[in-house]
Amino acid sequence: MKLYFSPGACSLSPHIVLRELGLPFEAIKVDLASKTTADGADFRAVNPKGYVPALQLDSGEVLTEGPAIVQYLADQKPEAGLAPANGSMPRYRLQEWLNFISTEIHKQFSPLFNPANPDSVKDAQKAKLAQRFAEIAPVLEKQDYLTGSQFSVADAYLFTVLGWSKYFHIDLNQWPAIARYVDRVAARPAVAEALEVEAKAKKAA
Ligand SMILES: N[C@@H](CCC(=O)N[C@@H](CS)C(=O)NCC(=O)O)C(=O)O
C-alpha cells in the first residue's frame, strides 16, 4: 500500500493507524501547493481532488477521504480492535465520531489556515471550535478514548486535528481532559513514530 501524505496534515491520521496496525506501507510525500509528489509526479493523477490523504492499494485502486481510509485499514486487521465490527452499533458510534471530527472540527479549522480570511472570520471559527472542544471534554473526563477504554481510528483522527490548535494559539489546557488526552495519545509508540517520521519529512522539504 502507498499512503500519500503531507507532514502534519490530516493524513497523519491514517499514518498513525498504519503504524498502530503494523501494516507494510510506503509513505509518499505530496507538495500540496504544486500538487506533485517527491519524485515530481502529478499527484492529481492519483487523487483528482488534489488533497491528502490518499491510499493506493496493492491492486492499484485508490481510496480517498480520511474517515473511509482509516476504517478500511482497521478492517484489514480487525483483531487489533481499532474499529468495532461492521454493522454493529459500536461501529455506528465510531462513524458518528468520525463524521463529527470531519465536519465539526477538521473543516472548522480549515478557514484558519487561509491567510486571505479576515480576523473576524478566524475569531468566529475559533469560537466554534471552542464550543466543540467543550462538548468533547466531558467525554474524555470519564474515559481514556472517544469510544471508551480502547484506542480507535477516531482517536487517531481527533489527535491529528487537535494538534493544529498550537498554530492558532488555542490553548488546550482550557479543557484539561483534552490536554491529558493529547498527552496520552502522543505517548503511544506508533503515534510517536508517525510524528517523528513526519517531522523529518517536513525538515527535508
Ligand atoms: N475531505 C477530505 C479532506 C482532506 C483535506 O482537507 N486535506 C487537506 C490537508 S488536511 C489538503 O490536502 N488540502 C490541500 C488542498 O485541498 O488543496 C478528507 O476528509 O480526507
Nearest CA to ligand 1 atom 9: 9
Same structural domain for residues 51 and 97?
A: no
Same structural domain for residues 62 and 122?
A: no
Same structural domain for residues 93 and 124?
A: yes
**Are residues 112 and 122 in contact, defined by beta-carbon separation less than 8 angstroms?**
yes
pLDDT tens digits for range 7-57 = 999 999 999 999 999 999 999 999 999 999 988 999 999 999 999 999 999
Same structural domain for residues 197 and 169?
A: no
Same structural domain for residues 62 and 98?
A: no
User: 4 CB less than 6 Å from ligand 1?
Assistant: no
Same structural domain for residues 71 and 158?
A: no
Same structural domain for residues 103 and 73?
A: no
Number of domains making up the chain: 2
User: 52 CB less than 6 Å from ligand 1?
Assistant: yes
User: 193 CB less than 6 Å from ligand 1?
Assistant: no
Ligand 1 pocket test target in 4, 6, 11, 52 with most atoms within 8 Å of CB: 52
Q: What's the Cα-to-Cα distance from 200 to each of 62, 194, 196, rounded to whole Å?
A: 26, 10, 6
Same structural domain for residues 183 and 102?
A: yes
CA of 143 to the centre of ligand 1 (A): 29
Q: What does the block give as the cell for 88? A: 454493529
CA of 167 to the centre of ligand 1 (A): 17
User: 51 CB less than 6 Å from ligand 1?
Assistant: yes
**Strand, coil or helix: 81:** coil
Same structural domain for residues 160 and 121?
A: yes
Rounded-to-integer distance, Cα 159 and Cα 74, Å: 17
For position 160, what pLDDT does the model report?
98
Low-confidence stretches of the chain (pLDDT < 70) are 205
For position 169, what pLDDT does the model report?
95
**Are residues 5 and 12 in contact, defined by beta-carbon separation less than 8 angstroms?**
yes
CATH code of the domain containing 38: 3.40.30.10
Same structural domain for residues 45 and 94?
A: no
For position 38, what pLDDT does the model report?
87
Atom of ligand 1 nearest to the CA of 107: 6
User: 10 CB less than 6 Å from ligand 1?
Assistant: yes
For position 205, what pLDDT does the model report?
64
Same structural domain for residues 98 and 61?
A: no
Same structural domain for residues 10 and 73?
A: yes
Domain of residue 39 covers 2-80+190-203
